[in-house]
Amino acid sequence: ILSILGRLHPTFEIYLNTMVGKEVLITDVNLMGELFEKIYNETATLEEKAEFRVLKKRLSHIMGKLDTYFKKVNEIKRVMNVVK
C-alpha cells in the first residue's frame, strides 16, 4: 500500500496542492464542458471533437490516479483504527 501511495503522491501533490495544478484541472474541466456542449449541439468541428477526446482521456487518467490514492489512504486509516 505504501509503495502505491509513494508512486501516486506526486500526482496528488501536483493537482491538488499547487495553484497551477488546480488551475489546470479547472481549465480542463471547463473546456471539456464547453466542448461537450458543442458536440451535443452538433456544432463541434473535427478539431474540437479531437480535443474533447484528449481531455476526456487525460482527465480520466488523472482522476483514476487520485481515486486510487484516496482509496489507499482510507485503507491505511482503517488499518490504523484496527491497530488502536
DSSP notation for the chain: -HHHHHHHHHHHHHHHSSHHHHHHHHHHHHHHHHHHHHHHTT---HHHHHHHHHHHHHHHHHHHHHHHHHHHHHHHHHHHHHH-
Instruction: Tell me the whole-structure pTM to 2 decimals.
Output: 0.72
pLDDT digits (tens, 9 = 90+) for 5-14: 667 777 777 7
pLDDT digits (tens, 9 = 90+) for 3-56: 766 677 777 777 778 889 889 889 999 999 999 999 999 999 999 999 999 999
